[in-house]
Structure 1
Amino acid sequence: MAQSAPYKICFVPKSREEEEEDSKIYKRYREIIAKLPTTEGWSGTLYQYQGFWYDSELTSGGPLAVQDHFKPKPSDILIASTPKCGSTWLRSLAFAVMNRESHPPSDQQHPLLLFNSHHLVPVIEASLYNDYVNDNRIPNLDILPSPTLFSTHMPYTSLPQSVTHSETTRIVYICRNTKDTLVSWWHFANKFRLNISLEPLQLEDAFEMFCKGMLSCCPFWDHVLGYWKESLARPQNVLFLKYEEMVAEPALHLKSLAEFMGYPFSSMEEREGVIDQIIKLCSFQNLSNLPVNKTGTSYPGVSNSFFFGRGKVGDSANFLTPEMIEQLDHITEQKLHGSGLTL
């Protein structure tokens, strides 16, 4: 029998008056959403909100509710990214780092062996403030242990002031090579479409959507630049990571991640191989073969297995045409020009 996600404890019983108030809040959000610009997306209608496109997270009120109600505690940490940039891996690494005292990476009952990282590090707009998933209920985050790890795909410019104006809340952002992000997203989209009996999405169509920025939480380049610029302005609050660099030198970047989070590895832990144990625990080979990630689900209609793609750096070269590669490289160079960021 599947275990309930640990974060679900924040949905405590409410009085009838409180439930009615929550329902009114989401009704107001749906009225706002109904007036937003729309376009056809890869699995239905996309809605444009504050310069970015959203699908089901927005239609379920998630981002709007986050902006109004999400108030992290000072010690909480937020994992951010666009979809398909390695966030499942990063969430797992961050959870293992933060909880290694109570759950050593060698623990045979480690939470990461029993739960998908979406259940351990909830996506705030999709898991916590999503009225479709949680029946019009606003969560009580005070019940969650402190500190808590959260995650998001929302752009920096749409995060609530409780995060962007905080001097203590830390954000870890991960980005990925533009071409690999597109191909990973395309694979994910077709797994989902197959699951709901839709025809596969042609790569040419996915490419056009991506270039036009008409995917959930996109335009991609605007999303990345928002967090990049903030990491330069507030390096003590925003850590900017690149997926390719983490794959190349996981131990080096895991140490940097732990230090930024406030959980540095001791010299004894390094000698005892704790860093390597966490890397092994959170590896694609290990997590993708767990029963919970082969057959379990984190969202309605989305198997946990969908979150484990090939994950190979440069794999896009096996799918994109030379013309596609050239066009994406040109767009990326134009969008990032003068920022100091290269992808």
Structure 2
Amino acid sequence: MTANSKFIDYIDEALEKSKETVLSHLFFTYQGIPYPVTMCTSETFKALDAFEARSDDIVLASYPKCGSNWILHIISELMFADSKQKYDYPEFPVLECGDPEKYQRMKQFPSPRILATHLHYDKLPGSIFKNKAKILVIFRNPKDTAVSFFHFHNDVPDIPSYGSWDDFFRQFMKGQVSWGSYFDFAINWNKHLDDENVMFILYEDLRENLATGIKRIAEFFGFSPSGEQIQTISARSTFHAMRAKSQETHGAVGPFLFRKGEVGDWKNLFSETQNQEMDEKFKECLAGTALGTKLKYNSYCQP
């Protein structure tokens, strides 16, 4: 069994369901947020409320297309450097995806468990906070996030496509995409970035200096890799290294998960009007906030 065989099986199943799903039927709404019917169910969400987190769970929170698969890989590499044990994903690692019985099975898993999530802060099970699990929050600038999300929908053969980038942009700005609004997600997490047990990391910073980012992540979760191990993990975790192995690690969807990973790819799609619209939205939602500053919007989102 490969380390990610459960991951691949789950994705294949979701893609199979996607074949029969048209875009207008892709979402169901739970507590005001749209989720994809191919990956989530309201029964699973109800069961999630009773999920019992452990204090040594590793929680990785991000909006979709902000680098969660990249961070999952880095954490697995750090765990391997620490214990020489390859992390086996006994379940699909996104906490809210899967069948309602998943959480019962997870009680048997050895610690530490890796829990990725795209949920807004206030939608996470309370036990994560009560038991003080550490949460790493990954953010990426909203323009590249939107473009990456669009390509994912329109490039993966079985996922329902949008008619055009303009169509997708309209829905993205309204928050009518899987896991809802990027800006609502951001506003929600912004209030908790300084909480004890929460650490923020920026996708663009990781792109710029991967080794430094890996070192910070290791310290936060209590791993102690040597300098040499950090260099090895960095080499294995570059975008190109991960893309090269993506079919092996993530199955058919791999090459689409690791498409370009560039900073500034949004310039190829955004019109001047769309640029202004997103700049306005950013100002309205995040200007003057701690997260607004951390996102370095002026560096990454100006033409």
TM-score (norm 2): 0.82
Rounded to whole Å, the distance in 2 between the matches of 1:183 and 1:41 is: 21
Kindly provide the amino acid, as one letter, of the partner of residue 222 in structure 2: G
5+ long unaligned stretches in structure 1: 9-39, 105-109, 298-302
Compared with structure 1, are the counterparts of its residues 338 and 95 closer, same or farther at alpha carbon in structure 2 (3 Å cutoff)?
same
- Match of residue 181 from structure 1: 145
Provide the rounded CA distance (Å) in 2 between the counterparts of 1:244 and 1:228. Answer: 18
Identity of aligned pairs, percent?
29
2:54 touches 2:131 (CA, 8 Å); kept in 1? Answer: no
Give 1 or 2 for the bigger CA radius of gyration: 1
- Give the corresponding residue for 1:308: 258
Q: Which runs of 5+ in 2 are unaligned?
A: 8-20, 296-303
Correspondent of 2:211 among 251, 254, 270 = 251
Structure 1 partner of 2:49: 67
- State the partner residue of 2:186: 224
Structure 2: which amino acid aligns with 1:123?
Answer: V
Q: How does 1:74-113 map to 2 (within 5 A)?
A: 74-103=55-84
Partner SS for 2:163: coil
**Aligned counterparts of 1:65 and 1:244: Cα–Cα separation in 2:** 35
Matches of 1:341 and 1:41, distance apart in 2? 35
Aligned to 1:195: 158
**Alignment partner of 1:210: what SS?**
helix
TM-superposed deviation, 1:306? 2.5
SS of corresponding position for 2:277? helix
Q: Secondary structure at the match of 2:137?
A: strand
Instruction: Please report how far the alpha carbon of residue 339 of structure 1 lies from its aligned counterpart in structure 2 after TM superposition.
Output: 1.9
- In the aligned structure 2, how far is the partner of 1:76 from the partner of 1:188? 29
Q: Does the 8 A contact of 1:79 with 1:171 survive in 2? A: yes
Structure 1 residues 120 and 290: CA distance shift in structure 2, 3 A: farther
Give the drift of 1:60: 5.8
Q: Shift of the alpha carbon at 1:151?
A: 0.7
Matches within 5 A, 1:158-169: 158-167=123-132, 169=133
SS of the equivalent of 1:151 reads strand
Instruction: Give the aligned partner of residue 268 of structure 2.
Output: 318
Quick one: distance in 1 between partners of 2:84 and 2:91? Answer: 13
Amino acid at match of 1:318: N
Partner of 1:214: 176
Q: Which residue of the partner structure matches residue 238 of structure 2?
A: 283
Alignment match of 1:339 (pick from 253, 265, 289):
289
Q: Give the number of aligned pairs.
A: 279
Q: 1:294 to 1:227 in 2, by over 3 A?
A: same
Query: C-alpha deviations, 1:48-103, integer Å up to 9, x for none?
Result: 323322122443633332222x2122111111111100111011111211231333
| Alignment TM-score, normalising by the size of structure 1 | 0.73
